[in-house]
Structure 1
Amino acid sequence: MVDIAAFDTNAEALVDRAGGKPIRVASKSVRSRHLLRRALARPGWHGVMAYSLAEAIWLVEGGVSDDIVVGYPIADRTALGKLAASPELSAAITLMVDSTDQLDLVDAVAAPGQREPVRVCIELDASLRLLGGRLHVGVRRSPLHEPGQAAALAAAITARPGFRLVGLMAYEAQIAGMGDAPPGKPLRGAALRRLQARSLHELIGRRTAAVAAVREYADLEFVNGGGTGSLAGTATDPSVTEVTAGSGLYGPALFDSYHAWRPTPAAFFALSVVRRPTPGIVTVHGGGWIASGEAGADRLPQPWLPAGLHLLGREGAGEVQTPLTGPGAAGLRVGDRVWFRHAKAGEVCEHLDALRLVRGDAIEDTALTYRGERAPAFL
């Protein structure tokens, strides 16, 4: 279920946080063409950040957007062949690169003189490196950390036929994807906020220098950065022309540990009570929808309604059953439903064919998920 009023409220709040810069919607955090269109129909939203080339082609062909950046390098030869053969797709889709190896793969699929020009975007590593590079704060993405490295790749791209360098991206996962207000850990939260502020300051300077260096070789159409958790900070970077967000539309449980802004919970799933093993415990059917990332309790789905329920520490959320305890268990009977929130946003759609769009106490519409439409998978 998606509370459509909460979804729209979150979409508007994200536009406010973006400070006038357009938001590119992260499709992996939504995974429903209906709701992607709903976000893109609002002022302040433009373009898609896709997770695979096959998905990007599907979205263009379905009329969702004609401006799609694939957020990760790909090695899908079938999709590359389709992109290279189509003027429409080649004009609408931009590939992510951080190495000439990825250019070589494109050339191996379709030689430069036998294809449309391929649009590419350079990814700059946004992680913070301390102690002379011995301490890495962030995720392992691009090998290009310094402005000179980005400029060297830009020179290589512009010297090769069959490619157009149109963008640069730097995703600051250590800010956007890390909650800075962990419950019950105020000192850790304060330390995280200081570290993230330092990282943002460092990145603004480095990204600005990288953009200037790359612009010596190409007139960039866009410079992308950010995510829901870093939107306001990233938008202050004068070198950034657009930001990306998606998770904030659904307001998943991980964002309960963010200090600056917490989206309104908008996406939920229900499981049925099937047994009562003790007077203080109820068991629902299924429930083991664990979020990706570093394994931990924060990756588990969280019971939401009725209030006063929590998972058992020794069992968590199970593939076939999930026991729950707490004051809320007393009023539940076999056949009742318990509503949960997933830890992440779009991942919940991998388990479901459709989303009920609810306004107040009425179902307003039904939206198929990627799974329900048999969309292309991760490739």
Structure 2
Amino acid sequence: MQESDLIGIPEDSISTPALIVDADILEANIEKMQSYLSEKGVSLRAHAKTHKSPYIGQIQMKTGAIGLCCATLAEAEAMVQGGLNNILITSQVAEADKLQRLASIAADADISIAADCRENIAELSEAALSRGSTIGIVIEVDVGMGRCGVRSAGEAVALADETVARDGLRFRGLMGYEGHAVFIGDRTDRRRTGLAANHLLMESVNAVRARGIPVEIVSAAGTGTYDIAAGMEGITEIQAGSYIFMDLAYEKLGLPFEISLTVLSTVISRPDQKTVVLDCGMKSISVEREMPRARGYDGMEVFKLAEEHALARVDPSGKSPLRGEKVSLIPSHCCTTVNLHDRIFLVRNRHVEAVLPVSARGVH
């Protein structure tokens, strides 16, 4: 069936497994985040690693986001090809071919990238000069993840000096992602950990400014800490992504966003009264944090995922789906679930409104 033939069909007619996004909830989540941050005077740089779709990125930009984050160079390439601009790549690039690709797209779009060492600054400068482009530099500060990023304000200042001295580069600012805080269940603990991370970022920001170097961008946070970082004086933008879809992990935090993304599956076997077998396994839904949850069946528990099958237990005396019926599953992690699919079915009022290619899935 051609994609054009899918427009308007009922949701329960979609071949499974399929990635479904409720358009009304998606738009409400986007508007809610944008409105909150606008009231706080903080910008949204929405993270495209969640949706990997230029179409959704365009909705975010039209709603008020100043730009997008991308986790990989190839995600950024897909967004630029989809007509998007003002992109921050939040991971470092070290390979020679990727440096050249980065410099190439920087000739056509406003591109910045995270950096955390002098060697990388030199490589980025050389690549930009070879392509006649300008690459924006955002120094990453390790604020507690123990991953990438400079470890001190002194290192941040030295790297800012190095950037300013290099041709082909434009120093933009600093970023620090408090990913170790975003899933802390207790709100007080999450706030304390998030603010401590934000303070570490601001120490480096203030040190760079004290050096006499202007800082335009101070970028931080994720969906779990967006409101905490937005209240920190000096942070200019929030990198939230998962708020548009939500999932079982974020649902536990009591955030003001609803789940818009599910994986539609079909019951392919009822071998006994207590067992339901679905056509949705690890190749179509993430299982990294916990098992998915079936929507609309309170007594149904998914207890195992194989490659192409989900096994669930049901109470024989309660409501359960019959063979051939459709079941919507809520994933534990929306971002890694999206990366398993080639397309998103955007559904409104239980009918397909659009079929969106997941343009940046599986690319790096």
Relative to the length of structure 2, the TM-score reads 0.85
Tell me if 1:342 matches 2:336: no
Tell me if 1:102 matches 2:120: yes
Aligned pairs, number: 340
**65-74 or 326-335: bigger deviation:** 326-335
Paired-residue identity, %: 23
2:261 aligned counterpart, secondary structure = coil
Matched residue type, 1:208? M
- How far residue 230 of structure 1 moved from its aligned partner, in angstroms, is 0.5
2:181 aligned counterpart, secondary structure = helix
**Conserved in 1, the CA contact under 8 Å of 2:46 and 2:68?**
yes
State the alpha-carbon separation in 2 of the partners of residues 249 and 87 from structure 1: 27
1:221 maps to which of 216, 219, 226: 216
1:273 aligned counterpart, secondary structure = strand
State the alpha-carbon separation in 1 of the partners of residues 168 and 320 from structure 2: 65
State the alpha-carbon separation in 1 of the partners of residues 361 and 245 from structure 2: 22
- Give the aligned partner of residue 201 of structure 1: 195
2:114 aligned counterpart, secondary structure = strand
- Give the aligned partner of residue 365 of structure 1: 354
Tell me if 1:146 matches 2:152: yes
State the alpha-carbon separation in 1 of the partners of residues 350 and 128 from structure 2: 56
Tell me if 1:317 matches 2:316: no
Tell me if 1:242 matches 2:229: no
**Conserved in 2, the CA contact under 8 Å of 1:24 and 1:47?**
yes
Relative to the length of structure 1, the TM-score reads 0.82
2:239 aligned counterpart, secondary structure = strand
Coordinate RMSD, CA, aligned? 2.4
State the alpha-carbon separation in 2 of the partners of residues 274 and 113 from structure 1: 56
State the alpha-carbon separation in 2 of the partners of residues 200 and 54 from structure 1: 29
Matched residue type, 1:22? S
**Conserved in 1, the CA contact under 8 Å of 2:285 and 2:340?**
no
Matched residue type, 2:213? A
1:41 maps to which of 47, 62, 66: 62
State the alpha-carbon separation in 2 of the partners of residues 365 and 16 from structure 1: 25
- Give the aligned partner of residue 55 of structure 1: 75
1:286 aligned counterpart, secondary structure = coil
| Cα displacement string for residues 264-323 of structure 1 (whole angstroms, at most 9, x for unaligned residues) | 11011111111112211111123224648xx5xx343222234431122xxx22212211
Stretches of structure 1 that go unaligned for 5 or more consecutive residues are 128-138, 181-188
**Conserved in 2, the CA contact under 8 Å of 1:179 and 1:254?**
no
State the alpha-carbon separation in 2 of the partners of residues 107 and 35 from structure 1: 32
- Give the aligned partner of residue 158 of structure 1: 164
**Conserved in 2, the CA contact under 8 Å of 1:17 and 1:231?**
no
| Cα displacement string for residues 13-45 of structure 1 (whole angstroms, at most 9, x for unaligned residues) | 2124322312111001111221111122113x2
Tell me if 1:12 matches 2:31: yes
Tell me if 1:123 matches 2:140: yes
State the alpha-carbon separation in 1 of the partners of residues 300 and 346 from structure 2: 25
**Conserved in 2, the CA contact under 8 Å of 1:54 and 1:376?**
no
**21-30 or 329-338: bigger deviation:** 329-338
State the alpha-carbon separation in 1 of the partners of residues 81 and 279 from structure 2: 38
State the alpha-carbon separation in 1 of the partners of residues 302 and 105 from structure 2: 51
**Conserved in 2, the CA contact under 8 Å of 1:119 and 1:166?**
yes
**Structure 1 residues 143 and 354: CA distance shift in structure 2, 3 A:** closer
